[in-house]
């Protein structure tokens, strides 16, 4: 799964207005709102903004809102406005309907991965102590057989790894593939994606 922003996502505050009358008063800009985007991959070159609105009449701008971008791989390069924070998704999973495409890592190095991994560095989902290549088993539902998934591993202070396992084999209802990875020392976060043309 991924989010690609090539257009505009905005929760920007409104522009202040002039209020005529005896007092010749005017209003300040409105405050920005909140935007939260969560996906394994966040990409694109559009605009994401929750900036406070300006006021051309009284010079009082609204407070900036919050933009929170949560992803394991962040390639978004577009302009942002407001107070922008980036983070890794933690304690979040999306429910999977029976008819929705779904791909997941079932096990690594012979150790099962929880159905709803947290990606936490405090309580790891899988504990592995090995410098040898580890087998990664991948399973998909409602993803066409023949699709080549992409496996990502990110370890602090080491280069990210991007692995292309063999194509998924099986049926549309259930397909599998496997590959190997040699993990760098320390905590690692991994995820798998699949892209195909319908």
Same-domain check for residues 54 and 113: no
Higher pLDDT, 100 or 36: 36
- Please give the pLDDT value at position 166: 96
**Is 157:138 a contact under the CB 8 Å cutoff?**
no
Q: Is residue 177 one of the residues assigned to a domain?
A: yes
Based on the fold, state whether residues 62 and 115 are members of the same structural domain: no
Number of structural domains in the chain: 2
- Residue that wins the pLDDT comparison between 60 and 182: 182
Q: Are residues 136 and 83 in the same domain?
A: no
- pLDDT at site 180: 95
Would the pLDDT of 23 be above 60? Answer: no
Q: What is the pLDDT of residue 109?
A: 92
Any residues with CB less than 8 A from the CB of 198 and at least 6 apart, and which? none
**Residue at 117 is within a domain:** yes
Is the model's pTM score more than 0.85?
Answer: no
């Amino acid at each position: 799964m991924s989010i690609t922003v090539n257009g505009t996502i905005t929760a920007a505050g409104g522009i202040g207005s002039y209020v005529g009358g005896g007092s010749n008063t005017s209003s300040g800009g409105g405050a920005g709102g909140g935007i939260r985007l969560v996906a394994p991959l966040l990409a694109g070159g559009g605009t994401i903004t929750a900036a406070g609105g300006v006021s051309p009449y009284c010079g009082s701008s609204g407070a900036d809102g919050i933009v929170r971008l949560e992803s394991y791989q962040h390639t978004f390069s577009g302009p942002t406005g407001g107070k922008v924070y980036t983070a890794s998704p933690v304690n979040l999973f999306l429910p999977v309907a029976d008819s929705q495409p779904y791909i997941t890592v079932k096990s690594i190095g012979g150790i099962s991965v929880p159905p709803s991994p947290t990606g936490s560095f405090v309580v790891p989902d899988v504990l592995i102590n090995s410098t040898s290549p580890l087998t990664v088993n991948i399973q998909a539902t409602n993803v066409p057989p023949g699709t080549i998934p992409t496996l990502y591993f990110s370890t602090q202070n080491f280069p990210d790894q991007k692995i292309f396992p063999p194509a998924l084999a099986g049926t549309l209802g259930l397909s599998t593939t496997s590959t190997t990875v040699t993990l760098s020392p320390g905590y690692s976060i991994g995820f798998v994606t699949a892209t195909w043309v319908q």
